[in-house]
Structure 1
Amino acid sequence: MNDKRNTDDRHLSAATPAEPNLQREQFPYEAPPLVFFDGVDVPMDRPDSIFITDTTFRDGQQARLPYTVDQITDLFDLLHRLSGPSGVIRQSEFFLYSEKDRQAVRACQERGYEFPEITAWIRAVEKDFQLVKEMGIRETGILTSCSDYHIHLKLGLSREQAMEQYLSVVRAALEEGVRPRCHLEDVTRADVYGFVVPFVQQLQQLSAESGIPVKVRLCDTMGYGVSYPGAVLPRSVPRLLHALRSETGIPSAQLEWHGHNDFYKVLTNAATAWLYGCSGVNGTLLGFGERTGNTPIEGLLFEYMGLTGDRSVDTRVVTEIADYFERELGYEIPPMTPFVGKSFNVTAAGIHADGIIKNEEIYNIFDTAKLLNRPLGVLVTDKAGTAGVAHWVNRYLGLTGSERVDKRNPGVKALYEWVVRQYENGRTTSLSDGELAGAAQHHLPVRFPAGGKSPEPV
């Protein structure tokens, strides 16, 4: 279906329409949102410099038990190490409302790190800005909701009233020399040429007058964004970036994307934002965030490395972060979660295990042992085959080269037959290292001597 109504009607006015523009053609509510196409493509406009920003301690705390001050400090240390010397993770934002929030900010400020820079988040009201001044923070996010769903239905304002309220807080920040970052909440349901572009034009004017860059965060609050070529506004991520870059002249360095995962598109939309002119992409550790969560920083990191070729980052810190969440925070990471789940590089298929024995590159996404301190694994069940059992023995004992056991080894065959019997007797779960090591003492006595403690896994 073609629909050009939201791409060609460029009146560039923030005047309030007679009725809120809820764009029911695309957002019927009683059905999933619709994607319209008009066949118009816009060119990629990838910035020279791209980076990641963090909201683990702001949006990330809205989806779980609040972190303690010590936990925030620990995670901030890990973010600093993950950011690396070049500041791949450029900034991290914090709440300031409670005394505990402010204690956490002070503790992180005392670290003296250049990266990530500590920033704040406030509502578009004067009293919130006082907290930013008191904490000595140089940049703050400001909530500037931009869809008629928020302006009319939530705030009860006209577009003109909303824009003036937002601009007044931006002016107050600029007068104090604080960099404002306007969060265009719900931008993927907004009237782009009827509110978003005129508002950003006003922000650009204030930026030029003050000499302070006013940043703009594009918030895909409900995860409605799509990356498809030829899709129309406001859902098209490429068209959103193109509209702002071409109509307002805002530099890529002042643009940032903040996505949600309601429709499983969060990482794709984030990478698309980079490719079409957004320097910054915002995320959280493990993707914690409102409802379905934000873009996972660990996913962004590998996407960034793939786009830039930057190998300066110590990606093994990702595994330390995952361990911290499970050990210190009691969070059980879903095992299939990419990069951090216990099973993300573990195969359960015997035919896969056979390929892994020949060359692990056949079934491993990259050298996970080197990049994440996570050697390739095989889940041992009755489906693992002798190849899977041989791989388990080699991994468990740390055998390499000529020391490795082969799937044709009689002891390996006998151990696999033992595994099969467990499932014939009603077993439904995978076998633990301890269970396999105990059985291996009988079937592979040279490798696993009987009596005493079983060999420790490597």
Structure 2
Amino acid sequence: MIVFSKKTNTLEQDLYQYNLQDTPEPNLYREIYPYDQIPMVTFNHRRVPMFPADEIWITDTTFRDGQQSRPPYTVKQITDLYDLLHKLGGPNGIIRQCEFFLYSDKDKQAVYKCLEKNYKYPEVTSWIRATKADFKLAKDMGMKETGILVSCSDYHIFKKLNKTRKEALDMYLGIIKDAIEIGIKPRCHFEDITRADFYGFVVPFALELRKLMEETGVPIKIRACDTLGLGVPYPGVALPRSVPGIIYGLTHHAGFPGELLEWHGHNDFHKAVVNSVTAWLYGASSVNCSLLGIGERTGNCPLEAVVIEYASLRGSTDGMDTTVITEIADYFEKEMKYRIPPMTPFVGSHFNLTQAGIHADGLLKDQEIYTIFDAEKVLDTPAKVVVNSHSGLAGIAHCMNNLLGLKNENKLDKKDPRVATLKEWVDKQYESGRSTVIYNEELLEVAREMLPELFG
């Protein structure tokens, strides 16, 4: 069949119709996933075109996947974080949706309280078991859309569900039809897509969903779930691990528009962020994330990371308030007593902090030399220096300027004799055998005693 593509403005030839391959035995891709070795990254050098969607956005799974790896959030914590997500996402809804469990009384109370806020964004959506009773529950609670688990690898179909591909496909289609009949828009979670037979099951299943959309007029979303973080972003990498190949295949071969495609990735191989961005670049409108990346095992894609990536790709925050990222980090640490690893980008206590004297000297001259961007403007987090045996005069001067808010002509220079006085004290600490850093409170206390004039 030859069709004119509005995406490429060319005639395109598609002679092959992908049909379900109902194999008697599971395809576990043992040559790629030997299990007793690290998974293989294989290439077939087939490159697919990069076509980002007209619009891209973020969805949040903090209150669903994020609760599968930590003690459940309280109702207050959920509603507070929901407020912060609303504030961070801005009026244009770049953070488009949040998904929730609906089962416990606490879950229901949190959902109702978030719905009462009447925010347009993030939209409250749910994740449920695929039963008629759960569909009715979602409908009764005011959900317009819900996530439904439709596992697509043979690991899940044969080993977990104990079904054939045909049996699984028929079961999934029946469940999705039930959701539509009740009046719920389905979001189909294609679990374990990076170990699935893409042309033998994934594309044929997606084609059936597209037919169902055409028959009912109800939009059906596909969430491509990289359940074990096995996706690979490299050009020319082979399926089933190819993130470009998965997104291109769903748009080109299955005919799904970008606005109905979402990527959900885990971080088992340190690729959650780059895989999410790759999904955007190859045509998916949505990437699914959690705050601070908290999620099952190694976690999900950190939402704050893709907020920054969005601005990098689009050249604008499009109304997002990035300073809220710091508010969220402070809330986790102060209100929830959650310890964020210090070196975590954008939210860790050591982000934008230097201990090296030569770096501190550069910061004192011009902070642009050793910082990635103006974090005080972008994240409401100024560049910081911690004092230790390597800080030198410049490090102490920079630290005192930050702590006392000294700017312009009031700033301390590393040649200031008062800085030398503090350095003498610092040097004596380490000459006496100290091995720990000098914390800000301690430095301020010493400075107040030795240099009271700085404190007015």
Structure 1 contact 204–250 (Cα < 8 Å) conserved: yes
1:280-319 alignment, distance < 5 Å: 280-311=286-317, 312-319=319-326
Q: Which moved more, 1:274-283 or 1:303-312?
A: 303-312
Distance 2:355 2:222 in 1: 46
* Residue matched to 1:110: 116
- Specify which of 331, 334, 339 is matched with residue 338 of structure 2: 331
After TM superposition, the runs of 4+ consecutive aligned structure 1 residues lying more than 6 A away are none
Per-residue CA distance 1:47-98 (angstroms, 9 max, x = gap): 0100000011000000111011111111111111111000010000001111
* Residue matched to 1:211: 217
* Residue matched to 1:200: 206
Q: Identity over aligned residues, as a percent?
A: 56
In the TM superposition, what is the alpha-carbon distance from 1:281 to its structure 2 partner? 0.3
Distance 1:383 1:375 in 2: 21
In the TM superposition, what is the alpha-carbon distance from 1:15 to its structure 2 partner? 3.4
Counterpart check, 1:75 vs 2:81: yes
Q: Find the residue that maps to 1:446 and give its secondary structure.
A: helix
One-letter amino acid matched to 1:423 = Y
* Residue matched to 1:418: 425
Distance 1:179 1:89 in 2: 19
In the TM superposition, what is the alpha-carbon distance from 1:272 to its structure 2 partner? 0.3
Per-residue CA distance 1:319-339 (angstroms, 9 max, x = gap): 111111111111011111111
In the TM superposition, what is the alpha-carbon distance from 1:423 to its structure 2 partner? 2.0
Counterpart check, 1:403 vs 2:415: no
In the TM superposition, what is the alpha-carbon distance from 1:188 to its structure 2 partner? 0.5
In the TM superposition, what is the alpha-carbon distance from 1:442 to its structure 2 partner? 5.0
Distance 1:18 1:11 in 2: 21
Q: Find the residue that maps to 1:180 and give its secondary structure.
A: strand
How many residues align? The count is: 440
One-letter amino acid matched to 1:199 = F
Q: Which moved more, 1:413-422 or 1:273-282?
A: 413-422
Counterpart check, 1:154 vs 2:160: yes
Distance 1:109 1:121 in 2: 16
1:417-436 alignment, distance < 5 Å: 417-436=424-443
Per-residue CA distance 1:351-403 (angstroms, 9 max, x = gap): 11111111111111111111211111001101111110010111111111111
- Specify which of 370, 373, 379 is matched with residue 366 of structure 1: 373
Counterpart check, 1:127 vs 2:133: yes
Structure 1 contact 234–240 (Cα < 8 Å) conserved: yes
* Residue matched to 2:386: 379
Counterpart check, 1:437 vs 2:444: yes
In the TM superposition, what is the alpha-carbon distance from 1:445 to its structure 2 partner? 4.1
Q: Find the residue that maps to 1:56 and give its secondary structure.
A: coil
Structure 2 contact 136–182 (Cα < 8 Å) conserved: no
- Specify which of 167, 172, 197 is matched with residue 166 of structure 1: 172
- Specify which of 135, 143, 147 is matched with residue 141 of structure 1: 147
1:343-354 alignment, distance < 5 Å: 343-354=350-361
- Specify which of 84, 87, 92 is matched with residue 90 of structure 2: 84
Distance 1:426 1:127 in 2: 67
One-letter amino acid matched to 1:324 = Y
Structure 2 contact 24–164 (Cα < 8 Å) conserved: no
| Pairwise CA RMSD | 1.3
Distance 2:55 2:350 in 1: 34
Distance 2:163 2:17 in 1: 21
In the TM superposition, what is the alpha-carbon distance from 1:126 to its structure 2 partner? 2.6
1:129-278 alignment, distance < 5 Å: 129-278=135-284
Structure 2 contact 135–182 (Cα < 8 Å) conserved: no
Structure 1 contact 124–165 (Cα < 8 Å) conserved: no
Structure 1 contact 53–280 (Cα < 8 Å) conserved: yes
Q: Find the residue that maps to 2:263 and give its secondary structure.
A: strand
Distance 2:313 2:211 in 1: 33
In the TM superposition, what is the alpha-carbon distance from 1:136 to its structure 2 partner? 1.8
Structure 2 contact 89–320 (Cα < 8 Å) conserved: yes
Distance 1:292 1:362 in 2: 33
In the TM superposition, what is the alpha-carbon distance from 1:171 to its structure 2 partner? 0.6
Q: What residue ranges of structure 2 are gaps of 5+ in the alignment?
A: 1-15
One-letter amino acid matched to 1:48 = D
Counterpart check, 1:340 vs 2:354: no
- Specify which of 34, 39, 58 is matched with residue 40 of structure 2: 34
Q: Find the residue that maps to 2:381 and give its secondary structure.
A: coil
